[in-house]
């Protein structure tokens, strides 16, 4: 029997970090072992065992604020759901340590994305705005729909809903789906994206993809891509009802990544989907 993959969770005290700890304890993805857990300085759960915090048996691991100490536990892979502001520093440290890195943090700016890409020159990295199987299938469907509808004057709009605590908008998943639509239409998303509308913006141009963010309650994540033409509207949707779906995808990536060549991978690589990358 192969030795278990030793996992370091970065952002272990957050909702996603605790979900991953619970799923590791429950062997939702076989062959994973939690060996270290870190979070930001001042995080509420520092000093606690992430298993106890997640409502499962203790791992014998103490949640700390020192990433270097977590890497000293010699993990086979690090799984990161922390914050965009921490990404560049984390990228440099995991790359220097030679530890494969799964990045689920959303809201990354150009500097953070560049840091991830630089790390991927030295270590294998999985970066994805959404790690669920369903969303990655939806990406392929949206790209195919846009290719089919290109030139037929179908307008594209993306509506996303999330819980009140979400900090970034539009969501990373909405932008990911926007990339799929833009790719299918043969457009550059940066040239056609518009973030909501207000006032009197005038008639909608043909080459435009609108993003609309709803925030409230404890909504895990709903995404709908609309293709609207005169006389009909096509809607492709995904609804997450539990963060376990995202955490499970991240753990699948953690099991898949060690041993891969240094490169920047996506969840479609992990899941074996053939849709072209954005």
Residues acting as catalytic residues: 162, 166
Q: Residue 67 to residues 41, 73, 78, 128, 172: CA-CA distances in angstroms?
A: 11, 10, 10, 22, 25
- Cβ-proximal residues to 235 (8 Å cutoff; 6+ apart), any chain: 224, 225, 226, 227
Q: Give the gyration radius of the chain's Cα atoms.
A: 19
Q: At what angle do helices 133-149 and 244-256 cross, to 10 degrees?
A: 90
**Stretch (H or E) spanning 141:** helix 133-149
Beta carbons of 247 and 79 less than 8 angstroms apart: no
- Cβ-proximal residues to 101 (8 Å cutoff; 6+ apart), any chain: 77, 78, 80, 90, 91, 94, 95, 119, 123, 124, 125, 126, 257
Dihedral sign, Cα of residue 188, residue 173, residue 256, residue 70: positive
Beta carbons of 13 and 50 less than 8 angstroms apart: yes
């Amino acid at each position: 029997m192969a030795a278990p993959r030793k996992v370091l969770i970065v952002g272990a005290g957050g909702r996603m970090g605790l979900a991953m700890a619970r799923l590791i304890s429950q062997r939702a993805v076989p062959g994973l072992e939690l060996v270290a857990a870190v979070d930001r300085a001042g995080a509420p759960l520092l000093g606690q065992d992430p298993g106890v915090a997640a409502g499962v048996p203790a791992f014998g691991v103490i949640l700390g604020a020192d990433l270097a100490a977590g890497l000293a536990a010699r993990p086979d892979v690090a799984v990161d759901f922390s914050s965009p502001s921490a990404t560049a520093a984390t990228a440099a440290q995991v790359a220097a340590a030679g530890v494969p890195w799964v990045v689920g943090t959303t809201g990354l700016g150009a500097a953070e994305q560049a840091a991830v890409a630089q790390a991927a020159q030295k270590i294998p990295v999985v970066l994805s705005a959404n790690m669920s199987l369903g969303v990655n299938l939806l990406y392929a469907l949206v790209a195919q729909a846009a290719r089919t509808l290109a030139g037929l004057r179908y307008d594209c709009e993306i509506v996303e809903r999330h819980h009140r605590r979400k900090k970034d908008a539009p969501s990373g998943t909405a932008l990911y789906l926007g990339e799929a639509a833009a790719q299918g239409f043969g457009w550059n998303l940066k040239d056609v994206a518009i973030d909501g509308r207000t006032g009197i913006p005038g008639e909608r141009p043909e080459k435009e993809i609108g993003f609309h963010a709803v925030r409230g309650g404890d909504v895990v994540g709903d995404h709908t891509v609309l293709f609207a033409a005169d006389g009909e509207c096509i809607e492709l949707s995904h609804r997450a009802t539990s963060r376990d779906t995202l955490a499970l995808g991240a753990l699948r990536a953690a099991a898949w990544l060690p041993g891969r060549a240094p490169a920047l991978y996506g969840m479609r690589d992990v899941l074996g989907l053939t849709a072209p990358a954005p």
